[in-house]
Amino acid sequence: MKTIIHVDNSEFFRKLMKVFLMEQGFIGAYFSHGADALEAINREDVSVVITGMALSDMDGKEFIKRIYASSYRGPIIVLTSNNPEVEQQALENRGVKACISKAGAWQEKLLPYLTNV
């Protein structure tokens, strides 16, 4: 089974994501450091990467840049506390599938991107 990688500096949000993914029947791996997530991406069968824009060791743009320097070519979804439209415009050339606001119903907005995992 493929793994969903989730990276975010917020322990609270990582716990929320873990519960959400488990309830949906997905296997997740959770990280606060982009470097640790990159190691997992290079060794795991990863289907989707979900990342925040603030990580413990780098910003989300740098993390995404490093992902695409690896062999991973799957979708990247950004969950952000910032304005998702602004983030989407800044990241559209980097292969980001979607930018979703952490405020509100992020689970409902995220789920359609996970249906084909």
- Sequence ranges of the domains in the chain: 3-114
- pLDDT band of 10, cuts 50, 70, 90: very high
Query: pLDDT tens across 90-104, in order?
Result: 676 667 888 888 888
Give the Å distances, CA to CA, from 77 to 6, 52.
9, 9
Residue 88 has pLDDT above 70, yes or no: no
Non-local CB neighbours of 101 within 8 Å, separated by 6+ positions:
79, 80, 81, 83, 84, 109
Q: List the CATH code of the domain at 3-114.
A: 3.40.50.2300
